[in-house]
Each structure stands twice: as structure tokens, then as C-alpha cells.
Amino acid sequence: MQKIEVEILGISATPTVGGAYALLLKEIDGERQLPIIIGPFEAQAIALEMEGVRPVRPLTHDLLKIFIEQVGVIVNEVLINELRDNTFYAQISIEYASLTEEIDARPSDAIALAVRVGCPIFVNEDVLKIAGITSNTSKEDGLEGNEENVQDTVKSTRISSLKDQLREALEKEDYERAAKLRDMIQNLEGKN
């Protein structure tokens, strides 16, 4: 099996699947791209980490990273290894005490973990042949359009996260923090 290393090109809302997002991966040494439809929570988890936004409390993928670090596990790589019945499958390769194990995972969860631990992401060549697309634009043109989508996604994800924090602050009657969060939200939304 030949593995192709990929990078995250962008995340954008997809109008064809309500509430879902398209995660676009691109092979590092080529032009093929692999779009994967993921849920809003996974999109948020990936986008927040890529943007360097730290939630007040750890998200599930943050908790997994903390656990992995505490027990001394090394995440070697993530591999999208199969496409079956229009569903992508992935494996996370981990190492612990000189033993290497492969753990089955959803690609979105595996990638959310990969961006947190900084491990490489690979796609099986056979999966890229079946589901990959080739970009007809230059690298600069392709990234430019996707960066806008990624920025929009990151902004809306950030606003959503801030609104959650605002609700928590109000429930705890921490009005000073709530006012700061409200101002941050209004600033991001462009309101005065």
C-alpha cells in the first residue's frame, strides 16, 4: 500500500449537506485534493486548533491529546486508509513502550487529533485514485479562495465558541466576564 502525505487546504460549509462541512486535503507533492464531508463539531475542533484558539475547557480531542501525553503514547501518523460505501475510514498509528498499534477512527476525529499532536496525515493511494480530484488552478489561486472559506469558518466557529462561553458566564453570574465576551462577539460580528 502506497501512502501519500497530505495537508489541510481548507474547511468550508457545504450547502449540499445541511450543517456539514467539507474538509479539503491536498497532497503535499502533487495537485490532487481529497474532499471529505465532516460534521460541525469536528470542523470546529479542527478549525479552532488551526487558528490557535484555546477553549476555556478542553474539547474531546484536547482531552485525548492530554491523556496521550500523560501516559507517554506517541502518535506517529494518521492514515485515511479506505473508502467503502461512500464512507472514509482512517487509522491512527500510535507507539507505546516500543509497541506500534493501529487504532480505527473516523477521519475527522483522526485529523482533529493530528493537528493537535503535529503528526503527519496520509491518504492511501487507492483512496486518492477513487475519490481524489485534481485542481485546475495554480497553488496560489486555489489557496486564495479556500483561505477565505477557512477564515469565514474559523470566524463563525470562534463566534459560536464565544457565545457558549457567554452563556456559561451568565449562568455563573460572572457579569464582568460576560460583558467582555459580549464585546468580543460584537467586534467579530462587526457591530458597534
Q: pLDDT of 41-94, one tens digit each?
A: 999 999 999 988 888 888 899 999 999 999 999 999 999 999 988 899 999 999
Residue 48 lies in a domain: yes
Residue 181 lies in a domain: no
- CA-to-CA dists, residue 125 to 4, 22, 119, angstroms: 6, 20, 19
Residue 58 lies in a domain: yes
Residue 69 lies in a domain: yes
What would the grid cell of residue 169 be?
Answer: 458566564
Count of domains for the chain: 1
- Block means of pLDDT (10 residues each) for the chain, 192 residues, are 94 73 92 91 92 88 93 96 92 94 97 96 95 64 46 57 77 87 82 57
Residue 148 lies in a domain: no
The CATH number of residue 116's host domain is 3.10.690.10
pTM above 0.75, yes or no: no
For position 137, what pLDDT does the model report? 43
